[in-house]
Amino acid sequence: MPESLIDGQPCDRVPVDDRGLLYGDQLFETVAFHAGRAPLWDLHMKRLSRDAPRLLMPLPDPGLLARECRQLAAGQDRCVIRICLTRGSGGRAYEPPARIEPRRILIRRPWPADLEPRRREGICVHTSPVHLAAGSLLAGSKHGSRIEQVLAAEHARRSGVDEALLFDASGRLVEAIAGNLVLVIDDQPVTPELGGAGVAGVGLDWLRSVESGLFTRALGAEDLRQASAVMVINSVAGIRPVRALDGRRLTVDPRCRRWQQSWDRLFECAD
Amino acid sequence: MPESLIDGQPCDRVPVDDRGLLYGDQLFETVAFHAGRAPLWDLHMKRLSRDAPRLLMPLPDPGLLARECRQLAAGQDRCVIRICLTRGSGGRAYEPPARIEPRRILIRRPWPADLEPRRREGICVHTSPVHLAAGSLLAGSKHGSRIEQVLAAEHARRSGVDEALLFDASGRLVEAIAGNLVLVIDDQPVTPELGGAGVAGVGLDWLRSVESGLFTRALGAEDLRQASAVMVINSVAGIRPVRALDGRRLTVDPRCRRWQQSWDRLFECAD
C-alpha cells in the first residue's frame, strides 16, 4: 500500500527542482479521513478553489484529487492525507515558467495518537514569542511558505506547551499555530478577524456553518485577557478547549462540548 | 558529473517528507562560481551563520559545504550553486523533531544567459502589485518561504518587465524580487533600511564593504519618485542599472559603472 502518490503514481521522492521545495511555492490541504471518507472534503475543495487563483495557479481537478485520496485512504480506519499542489518544476529562479505544470503530491499520515485526551481535558498553550508578519496579500491562504508556524511550533515544543497563540506585528490576535481560535468574551463566542495574516481554516469554516452565534471581529491582547474560555479548532483535531494559557487556568465553555458532539456526529456519519 | 548532491551523495530526488518541501522550512544561499571559485563565499557563510540560529537550526560545517560546492563546480567555467539547508525530515506537522538532522541539498545551475546585456543596458522594472507582509521576525534571513517573491515574479513575467520594486504593507520600499536596491537621491546613494521585510543580500553586503558613501535609511514612495537613478544588486548578477521604472526613463549613475568594474575585478581575480 503506497503512503504517497506523486501525480498519481506511488512515489516517495520529489525532484530536487520542485518549486514547492525551492520556494515554498505550493498550496496544501490536510484532510481527515475516517473509514475512507472525508466529511470536510467540500470545504477543503472550496478553499483550494479560492486560493489557486490568488496564487496564480491553475485549479486542480477535484474529482482526480478525490480518487487519488480514496486510493491512499483505502483500508485505513483513520488517517490524514496531505494534498500538496506545488507549482511544479522549471522557471527562472523565483519566476515561474510560462506554462505551469503543477505537481500533485499526496501523503498519507497516521492518525495523531493523543488527540482524544487533549480534546477531553484541554490543551496548554502559551502566547508565542513569534509574531506573524502583518498585511500579507496571501492572508487566509494555506500556502507552503510556513516558516513562521515552524518557528512558533519549535518555541512551543521547547516550552512544553501543546499549542500557541499568535499575534501579528501590529498587535492583532490571529490564530493558533495549527488552527483558528474561538474566544468566549462576555458569554459571546468570537473568532479573530484574520486581517493580514493567518490561514482561513476549514475547521472554522465548518463551525461557522453550524453555529450562527459565532461573531468575527478584530481582537487584541486585551480581548484575550477578558476571555473566559479559549478554543482551538482545526480540520483534523476538531475543537479543543484551552485549559491553561500562559499558566492561567481557563474554564471549558459548555458550547465547546456541544460543538464537539456535532463534530463527532459529522465524523461518525462518515463511518 | 552530478548536478546535485544530497548530503554529499549524487542524487536528484528529495524524500517527500522533507520539511523544506512541506513548510518552506529551510535556509538557502545562491552562490556564483567562476572557474571553480566563489569570490563572495565568506559573505554567504557569514549570512548562513547569522540566519541558522534565528531559525533555531544547527550551523552547517562551512568546510564541508565548500568541498561539496567545489565538487559540483569542478570543470564549469561559470555556474550558480544553490545551497539548501532544510530542517530535514520528521517532527509532528509544523513542529520540528526534538533532534534536528538538517538535509544539505546542493544544486548546480547553468550561468544565466542574458546577464551581460542587462548589466550594460539596464533593466526595465515596475512597481510590483505584490506588497510584502510587514514586521516579519525573520526579515533579512534568506529562508525558503518565498511565496511572495514567486507571486511578484509571476506578475513581472506577465507584465514583460525584468524585475520589480517591492514595498511592504506599511508603505516602505524594501527590495527588488531577487536583489536589493540602491537609489541615488540628491546625488547621494542610499539603500532602503529593510525594517520588517526582505532579504539582507550578499551582493549589497559586498557593496557596503567597498563603498563607504552608501547610506541606509527608511525609504518610501516619495523617495523613489525623487530618485535620479535606481540599481538592483544581487550576488549573481552583480549591479544592474534600472533604465525604466513604470515607463519612466532613468539615467545610469556613473557610480554604477564604477561599482560594476570593482565587481568584475573581484570575479576576474577568481579566474
**Looking at this predicted complex, what is its ipTM?**
0.96
Measured between CB atoms, which of A20, A130, A135 is closest to B21?
A: A20
Residues A67 and A83 occupy one common structural domain: yes
Backbone φ, ψ for residue A192 (5° rounding) = -65, 135
For residue B269, what pLDDT band results from cuts at 50, 70 and 90? Answer: low
B195 and B123 in a common domain: yes
CB atoms within 10 A of CB A164: 25
Retrieve residue A262's grid coordinates: 456535532
Cβ of residue B20 closer than 8 Å to a chain A Cβ = yes
**Same-domain check for residues B121 and B254:** yes
Q: Which three cell numbers stand for residue A139?
A: 492572508
For residue range A157-210, what is the model confidence (pLDDT) as tens digits?
Answer: 999 999 999 999 999 999 999 999 999 999 999 999 998 999 999 999 999 999
Mean pLDDT along residues A133-147: 97
Which residue type is seen at B262?
S
Name the closest residue on chain B to residue A139, using Cα atoms: B133
B168 close contact with A: CB closer than 8 A: yes
Based on the fold, state whether residues A79 and A97 are members of the same structural domain: yes
Strand-strand pairing, B180-185 and B188-192: antiparallel
**Quick one: cell of A39?**
466529511
Cα separation, A63 vs B144, in Å, equals 31
Residues 205-224 of chain B whose Cβ lies under 8 A from any Cβ of chain A: none
Looking at the predicted structure, is the pLDDT value of residue A270 above 70? no
pLDDT tens, residue by residue, B32-55: 999 999 999 999 999 999 999 999
Helix axes B41-54, B62-73, angle to 10 degrees: 130
pLDDT bin (cut points 50, 70, 90) of residue A269 is low
Q: Quick check: B135 and A168 CB within 8 A?
A: yes
Confidence of residue A7 (pLDDT cuts 50, 70, 90): very high
Determine the 3-state secondary structure of B264 from DSSP: helix
When divided into structural domains, chain B yields a total of: 2
Q: What is the pTM of this model?
A: 0.96
pLDDT tens-digit readout, B69-108:
999 999 999 999 999 999 999 999 999 999 999 999 999 9
- Give φ, ψ of A47 to 5 degrees: -65, -45
pLDDT digits (tens, 9 = 90+) for A208-260: 999 999 999 999 999 999 999 999 999 999 999 999 999 999 999 999 999 99
Question: Which stretch of DSSP H or E encloses residue B120?
Answer: helix B115-121
Do A91 and A59 touch, CB atoms closer than 8 A? no
Is there a single domain that holds both residue A122 and residue A102? no
Q: What's the rounded Cα separation, in Å, for the pair B262 and B258?
A: 6
Distance CA A233, CA B87 (A): 27
pLDDT in tens, A92-102: 999 999 999 99
Query: Cα separation of A153 and B244, whole Å?
Result: 44
Which residues fall within 8 angstroms of residue A54, CB to CB, at 6 or more apart?
Answer: A138, A141
Considering only CB atoms, which chain A residues are within 8 Å of B155?
56
- Whether residues A69 and A195 share a domain: the answer is no
What mean pLDDT do residues A145-163 have?
A: 98
- The residue out of A81, A111, A141 marking a domain boundary is A111
Question: Which CATH number is A160's domain given?
Answer: 3.20.10.10
Count CA atoms closer than 13 A to B2's CA, side-chain side. Answer: 18
C-alpha cell at A258: 456541544
User: Do B92 and B151 fall within a single domain?
Assistant: no
- Chosen domain end from B111, B132, B149: B111
When pLDDT is averaged across residues B240-261 and rounded to a whole number, the result is 97
Q: A99 and A25, same structural domain?
A: yes
CATH code of the domain covering residue A60: 3.30.470.10
pLDDT class of B271 with cuts at 50, 70, 90: very low
Output the nine-digit C-alpha cell for A192.
479573530
Query: What digits encode the pLDDT tens for the residues B107-151?
Result: 999 999 889 999 999 999 999 999 999 999 999 999 999 999 999
Grid coordinates representing A101?
Answer: 505544470
Say whether residue A92 is in contact with chain B using an 8 A CB cutoff: yes
B164 and B91 within one domain: no
Taking the C-alpha atoms of residue A12 and residue A24, their distance in angstroms, rounded to an integer, is 18
Average per-residue pLDDT for chain A: 96
Give the Cα separation of A110 and A112 in Å (integer): 6
Cell of B5: 548532491
Q: What are phi and psi of B240, to 5 degrees?
A: -120, 130
Q: Are residues A195 and A173 in the same domain?
A: yes
Q: Are residues B49 and B123 in the same domain?
A: no
pLDDT score recorded for residue A253: 97
Could you tell me which of A161, A167, A135, A123 has the C-alpha nearest to residue A148? A167
The Cα–Cα gap between A154 and A156 comes to 5
Q: Answer yes or no: do A104 and A123 share one domain.
A: no
Asked which of B88, B111, B134 is the last residue of a domain, the reply is: B111
**What residue numbers bound the domain in which A233 lies?**
116-268
Confidence of residue A144 (pLDDT cuts 50, 70, 90): very high
Structure confidence at residue A1 (pLDDT): 62
Contact with chain A for residue B21, Cβ under 8 A: yes
Asked whether the CA dihedral B241, B245, B247, B250 is positive or negative, the reply is negative
pLDDT of residue B1: 62
Of A4, A20, A134, the CB nearest to B135: A134
The count of residues in chain B is 271
How confident is the model at residue B114, as a pLDDT?
87
| pLDDT score of B60 | 87
